[in-house]
Amino acid sequence: MNQGIKSILLAILMVMLACSFPVSAHEESPAAIVAEIGEHAEELSAVAGNIHDETEMIADDESLDEALRAKGEEVHLSSHDIDHCAQELLRSVETLNGLVADPEANMDAIEAEIADMKEHIEECEGIMESKGDIVHALGSEVPETHAEYADNTHDYYHEAEAVLRGIDSHVGELEESLGIGTASAASAAPVSGNVAAALDEVEENANELLDYAGKIHDETEYIADDEALSEDIRAVGEEIHLSSHDIEHCAKEVLEHVENIRGLAGDVEANKAAIDEEIGEMNEHLEECAGIIESKHDNLHELTGMVPETHAEYADNTHDYYHETEYIVADIKENVGELQEAIENPTSAAEAKAAPETETDEDAAEEESGNSAPGFGLVLAVAGMLCTVFFARRK
């Protein structure tokens, strides 16, 4: 066999070996994830410091009304609690840095540290949620001289919430990378069939509702925070702006109930009472959300008629987004009804097998992401290359 053919065959062999292993998406090491948690915890501490400084300008100003100063002081004090949670998370990060170097030997200690982090995250979420109404009240109650401090406090508070969600997400990634909870998840009965389908629909629409709440928040901010506009226009904008937080809260509550039901629906018969309770609470949040949206109809139309041409786009977008949330809430209600029916008559495990087209979609998505193993097409391609070499050699 001449040297040229040997080179071609060697190249083909290398291609086959390279393709015989699926190319997996980049997965961060536990140490890298811990480092990211540390970065976010530092960021949370910094935002807490910003909240501290901004509210101090309200709480310590003796020229302001006592009731207003008291609200500023309450939010001011919460900044210390947020920073305390951030410092506890940083302490856990420091401990984990040494433990994840040998996860197998230190798994018990790692799990205990992660449990501590989850407790502090939950504590911090509770603190921020409990002060949400006061933070929003400050924005509408402070005089113009202190509006900037109240607005900054509002923005920093929501930034802290976003940072905390990022930390929570990274903690979940850390558990996944270490295989924590994998055994219990594998032993639990999977949610499937019509129950799984209904949950997926509710979750998808709740995420869509969350997205539109954010859009309403951003559009109305351009009106509520623009000092060039009249106080009347800004006040209407602020009222709708604040309602976006209520819609966001409802969406998050629905998503939490979906997650809880997923944990229960592996055994519908045993957990039916708990599932029914979750569905009942979900319906209450949806009714609350529908009421919030309906109560702002007049404000929406008033706003579009009040704003100058420079702000017409923001008002029109807000109007359209608000009506979208109305449709989405109606869809979620319908899907929750379907979920209730599925709980009453769940499909069997045999009926829950994925349909062929679903498998095809998954395969296509996997191939697009670069995670697929070589298929029959690759075998044919390699065979063709070998045939070409064979005939070239015979010539």
Tens-digit pLDDT profile for residues 55-82: 999 999 999 999 999 999 999 999 999 9
Mark which of 355, 372, 388 sits at the end of a domain.
355
Locus of tokens 């608000």: 322
**Domain shared by 224 and 347, yes or no:** yes
Q: Which domain holds residue 63?
A: 29-180
**Domain shared by 165 and 202, yes or no:** no
Residue 191 pLDDT: 72
For the chain, residues with pLDDT lower than 70 are 1-27, 181-189, 348-395
**Domain shared by 243 and 325, yes or no:** yes
Residue 139 pLDDT: 84
The amino acid at residue 164 is L
**Domain shared by 299 and 167, yes or no:** no
Residue 192 pLDDT: 72
Any residues with CB less than 8 A from the CB of 339 and at least 6 apart, and which?
195, 198, 199, 202, 261, 279
Alpha carbons 163 and 80: distance in angstroms, whole number: 16
Residue 267 pLDDT: 86
Mark which of 159, 180, 201 sits at the end of a domain.
180
Dihedral class, residue 373 (left if φ above 0, else alpha if ψ from -120 to 50, else beta): beta
Quick: pLDDT tens for 105-163: 999 999 999 999 999 999 999 999 899 889 988 988 999 999 999 999 988 998 898 89
Answer yes or no: are the C-beta atoms of 76 and 55 closer than 8 Å.
Answer: yes
Residue 242 lies in a domain: yes
Q: What is the DSSP letter of 188?
A: S
CA dihedral 224, 229, 234, 235 (to 10 degrees): 160
**Domain shared by 176 and 194, yes or no:** no
Residue 234 pLDDT: 93
Question: How many domains does one find in the chain?
Answer: 2
Look up the pTM and report it: 0.55
Residue 221 lies in a domain: yes
**Domain shared by 258 and 140, yes or no:** no
Residue 56 lies in a domain: yes
Residue 249 pLDDT: 87
Residue 275 pLDDT: 93
Residue 268 pLDDT: 85
Residue 344 lies in a domain: yes
**Domain shared by 203 and 318, yes or no:** yes
Residue 70 lies in a domain: yes
> Tokens representing 350?
């045999």
Mark which of 180, 201, 217 sits at the end of a domain.
180
**Domain shared by 196 and 75, yes or no:** no
Alpha carbons 168 and 128: distance in angstroms, whole number: 15
The amino acid at residue 179 is G
**Domain shared by 204 and 70, yes or no:** no
In this structure, what CATH number is given to the domain that contains residue 212?
1.20.58
Residue 5 pLDDT: 55
